[in-house]
Structure 1
Amino acid sequence: MNRDFSFIILTFNEEIHLRRLLESIKDLHAEVFILDSGSTDDTLKIAQAYGAEIQNNPFVNHPKQWDFALKNFDIKTPWTIGLDADQMVTPELFDQLQKFKNIDFEGINGIYFNRKNYFQGSWIRYGGYYPIYLLKMFRTGIGHSDLNENMDHRFIVPGKTLIWKKGHLLEENLKENDIDFWFKKHEKYSDLIAQEEIERMQNLRTQLLKPNLWGNPDEKKAWLKRLWWKLPLGLRPYLYYSYRMIFKLGILDNKTARRFHYLQGLWFRKLVDEKISKLKNP
């Protein structure tokens, strides 16, 4: 059994994804812990077939679900890797993990993985969507879930971090091949984000990370979010979409990826702003 790291995976009706992910990591011989939120398909049967330890917790949002997972699984390895069920490890990333030894990373508390995101079979290569570095591997008991956001989840660690630019996490939610699923999911997400931004306006939420344009990937994102919250409602979705399509070259993506930029970068952001306006002026 791997003595250096263990995996935690969140699931809810992930039979279409989970086997794909577990196959990509099984030969690392690491313990797998799965936190499910009430799956009614074969998700749990698949998890059991791969020897995973399973717990259940009702879903509120991703940050709270990850917080529960980190606090309730008995992880004995010095490192934890937190993955979503619709992700998978490429052979290049697998090779880095296979060579990983805790003793070689003294003084490091977190490692960022490079993500490649796919939508309906198309890699979202431009528009600021690649490369994107996600803190996915961290020292057990040191990394924690950022509870100051309703939807946009991240792990936080103090101290030094590394970025692994080689190898990738591939992320593709196959459920989104049904565009109605995408719309319903983002309707829920827009409620969470709108409520969060109202609470920020009321000073009920603050950023845990120090915003820093020249810092690590999460500190940079915190800086950009702070800027975003200052932009005028209704105008900022158009500014952001233009930024993605022109300055971040989203126009060079294929038709499917360009549709993603429109849906995620403009339609969704407009929906959020509309809901914020309604909450401000009931």
Structure 2
Amino acid sequence: MSGLLDLTIVLPVRNEAENLGAALQSIGSDLAQAIVVVDSNSEDDTVKIAQEHGAHVINFQWNGQFPKKRNWFLREHKPKTKWVLFLDADEWLTEEFKTELRAALADTPHVGFWLNYSIYFLGQPLKGGYPLRKLALFRVGSGEYERIDEAQWSALDMEIHEHPVLDGSTGVIHAKIDHRDMRGPEHWARKHTEYASWEAKRYMALANDPAAKHQWSHPQKIKYRLMGTPLLAPIFFLGCLFAMGGWRDGKRGVMWARLKAGYFAQVYTRIQQERQKLAKAEN
């Protein structure tokens, strides 16, 4: 099957020179009607690489309020295509995914699709462990990413674990996108330290908000039920290693489960810090 899909692919980025070229190469020139890179004042060659691959570049300057990068793009630069797909710069489209994507969009009653990703760790894809799944492909105008009013409590200018809230049914594309970050474990650690702070503050802001809970997916409801307890990290470690098949990756599987469990332990610690701050403020 050939021909450009009625699709805009959007890559929100900042300082992604090491990853972006490979991601754009994996998309190719015969898949989507538009490829857009939304950049946040990168200080490396990100913009140059995007332009060399023929992508349209838009700069985003966050003001610390809603909307963040993806919702801002949907509102201020609404795609003219029927569908929009959001990719990170370390996500590579496989031929299997592109084939299934064409078939899925050819005739579907759904307004969005959950996408599956392979995770590369220490240079090889993991066979088991925590599955990466995101609702990142949907019809333009069917919804947007859930709203969080931050008032600048985070320095992260892009939606992290917010998911799109869509008006309609969703399907699944089973063929995987390759998730490959070329920047190494040091970057992973720095990034997840930022994420842990964001997760803790989000938990404190939304855990008791009935409207927010109504929009959460089933996995989010389970995670947030456990996040305020010390149980999340050990449960995640055991689940990642045994229930989700991480043992099939041997030492790499154990290391991956420990890394992810350590991340959730950090989230729990930060939640306790936020609770102490709140208690002091109330007194």
Alignment CA distance shift 1:64-1:272 (3 Å): same
Give the length in aligned residue pairs: 264
In structure 2, the gaps of 5 or more residues are 150-158, 278-283
SS in 2 for 1:31: strand
SS in 2 for 1:174: coil
Give me the whole-angstrom Cα distance separating, in 1, the residues matched to 2:194 and 2:24: 28
Q: Residue 184 of structure 1 aligns with which residue?
A: 190
Is the Cα contact below 8 Å between 1:148 and 1:205 reproduced in 2? no
Report the CA distance between 1:118 and its aligned residue. 1.2
Is the Cα contact below 8 Å between 2:247 and 2:253 reproduced in 1? no
Report the CA distance between 1:148 and its aligned residue. 4.2
Q: Which runs of structure 2 are paired with 1:190-229 in the superposition (5 Å)? A: 190-201=196-207, 203=209, 206-209=212-215, 219-229=217-227
Q: Residue 101 of structure 2 aligns with which residue?
A: 97
Give me the whole-angstrom Cα distance separating, in 1, the residues matched to 2:102 and 2:243: 38
Q: Which runs of structure 2 are paired with 1:66-81 in the superposition (5 Å)? A: 66-81=70-85
What letter is aligned with 2:58?
A: Q
Give me the whole-angstrom Cα distance separating, in 2, the residues matched to 1:51 and 1:31: 10
SS in 1 for 2:69: helix
Is the Cα contact below 8 Å between 1:191 and 1:272 reproduced in 2? yes
In structure 1, the gaps of 5 or more residues are 211-218
Matched, 1:156 2:160: no
Q: Residue 47 of structure 1 aligns with which residue?
A: 50
Report the CA distance between 1:116 and its aligned residue. 0.8
Deviations, residues 144-198 of structure 1 (Å, cap 9, x unaligned):
1123497313223221221121x221111111x2x22222211111111111112
Give me the whole-angstrom Cα distance separating, in 2, the residues matched to 1:238 and 1:111: 31
Supply the RMSD in Å over aligned alpha carbons: 2.6
SS in 1 for 2:235: helix
Matched, 1:258 2:257: no
SS in 2 for 1:80: strand
Report the CA distance between 1:254 and its aligned residue. 3.1
Q: Residue 17 of structure 2 aligns with which residue?
A: 15
Report the CA distance between 1:62 and its aligned residue. 11
Is the Cα contact below 8 Å between 2:11 and 2:89 reproduced in 1? yes
Is the Cα contact below 8 Å between 1:133 and 1:163 reproduced in 2? no
Is the Cα contact below 8 Å between 1:33 and 1:73 reproduced in 2? no
Give me the whole-angstrom Cα distance separating, in 2, the residues matched to 1:160 and 1:173: 31
Alignment CA distance shift 1:11-1:61 (3 Å): farther
Alignment CA distance shift 1:224-1:252 (3 Å): same
